[in-house]
Amino acid sequence: MSPLQRRRFRTAVSTDAQPTLEGEIVGPGAVEGKMVGSLTQEEVLALSPQRWLSLIRCENFLEEFEQLGVEYVMDFPEVLEDDLIGIGLPMLQRRRFTAAALQVEELKMFQLEKTQANEDVDNSPLGFLQRLRLSDFIDAFTELGVESIDDYIEVLPDDLLNMGLRPLPRRRYMAATQELATKLTA
């Protein structure tokens, strides 16, 4: 089972919702999911986080999502159930959020596959950070001693905290370096 299929299965089981790219949703949050699903791929990914949250009626939690590190709509699928509970999102809003975030994840994966098919991957330290949308931190990583893409594996979570990375970007970074370590040892 591919990683995308595993994520879809895990989300469908945990929320009892099964969204598709066509905007067809079975389960909680169907109305909001159809609103998000009725937009084109480019429109959904171009929405501001505030607008996306208002479509699923969770706009009152914008500040909490920003504190987690959400900067773009494509960051929402990275938010965990524990994060939603931690910011105080009630059960119905959590279900709505999860169903709509799964649609964004599918769009994000589709866009990523399309982009990777058309471009060569830049394996420089800056290219790695750009793929993670963390290029603003290149100076901090350079000061830490990162000279090649392999060096990112040695960066500790405390180093990321000291750089000022918020929770979502930290998780994104740790997942990417774990994947990188797996590729290097294979």
Task: Give yes or no: residues 77 and 34 share one domain.
Answer: yes
pLDDT value at position 108?
82
Looking at 84, 118, 152, which one is the last position of a domain?
Answer: 118
Asked if residues 21 and 100 have their Cβ atoms less than 8 Å apart, the reply is no
16 and 106 assigned to the same domain: yes
Which of 101, 118, 135 is the endpoint of a domain?
A: 118
pLDDT for 18 equals: 43
Give the pLDDT of residue 40.
73
Both 87 and 24 in one domain: the answer is: yes
pLDDT at residue 25, rounded to an integer: 44
Residue 12's pLDDT is: 55
Q: Tell me the mean pLDDT per 10 residues along the chain, length 186.
A: 57 48 46 56 86 94 96 94 96 95 87 66 87 94 94 95 95 94 84
End position of a domain, from candidates 75, 92, 118: 118
Q: In this predicted structure, what is the pLDDT of residue 48? A: 94
Question: 114 and 24 in one domain?
Answer: yes
pTM: 0.69
